[in-house]
Chains A and B, each alone.
Chain A
Amino acid sequence: AQSVTQLGSHVSVSEGALVLLRCNYSSSVPPYLFWYVQYPNQGLQLLLKYTTGATLVKGINGFEAEFKKSETSFHLTKPSAHMSDAAEYFCAVRVTQGGSEKLVFGKGMKLTVNP
């Protein structure tokens, strides 16, 4: 079964510091991978996605992620954290079976940005 794992539940960084949020996947087929961000009491907003092609994917708000098949990873990074990046971040893998499709999410990572 396809799945993603986000180890830990909280990350805290200083404003201006590197943001690194880890995601590892398990999939027997080439995966489609996604990062979503959720601000408090709001829905999920797509940050970026990997389907095929270039393994370094650039998203919104200065975030990017690199698909590494050898490490089964899809870590999310941002060179310099901003206070507005404080939110919860979810990694997800798309599972397609027969005529159905769904996203399987990790448990999420709450990012705190300290001034």
Chain B
Amino acid sequence: NAGVMQNPRHLVRRRGQEARLRCSPMKGHSHVYWYRQLPEEGLKFMVYLQKENIIDESGMPKERFSAEFPKEGPSILRIQQVVRGDSAAYFCASSPLPPGSGNTIYFGEGSWLTVV
């Protein structure tokens, strides 16, 4: 039973390029979350998605960032025109049940983005 799979694990982008981070949730999980971890900080919530729906994007920067979770395929976190401040670890998490059910949220290994 594979865990939450993220790729790439490490990504280097030049300023102004686009970064695409992919996340395949655990089998049977239809709830996906993205978090960002900046150096020396804890994880910050970015977005919560269910299949084909963005439920809560209150933690997403207003510009350049977008996320999707299509009916088929992985969830994608897309960062356009990256800047040095986007350098961080991006973690995906998934859960099998809707909010409020007390279930566990499982995290992936993370994607480390470095902007040069």
Contact = CB atoms under 8 A, between A and B. Distances in A.
Interface of A: 9, 32, 36, 41-46, 49, 51-52, 90, 96-97, 99-108
B99 A99 contact: yes
Nearest to B48: A100
Nearest to B56: A100
Contact of B43 (A52, A96, A105): A105
Contact of B109 (A36, A42, A101, A103): A42
A49 B56 CA distance: 23
A32 B105 CA distance: 12
Given A36-B107, A44-B91, A96 B99 contact: yes
B65 interface: no
B73 interface: no
Given A90-B42, A99-B55, A101-B48, A44 B107 contact: yes
Chain A binding surface, main DSSP class: strand
Interface in B22-54: 33, 35, 40-45, 48
A41 B112 contact: yes
A28 B10 CA distance: 39
Interface in B45-81: 45, 48, 55-56, 58-59
B100 interface: yes
A32 B45 contact: no
A102 B104 CA distance: 11
A36 B44 CA distance: 14
Given A36-B107, A96-B100, A102 B42 contact: no
A51 B109 CA distance: 25
A108 B43 CA distance: 9
Given A41-B112, A43-B109, A100 B41 contact: no
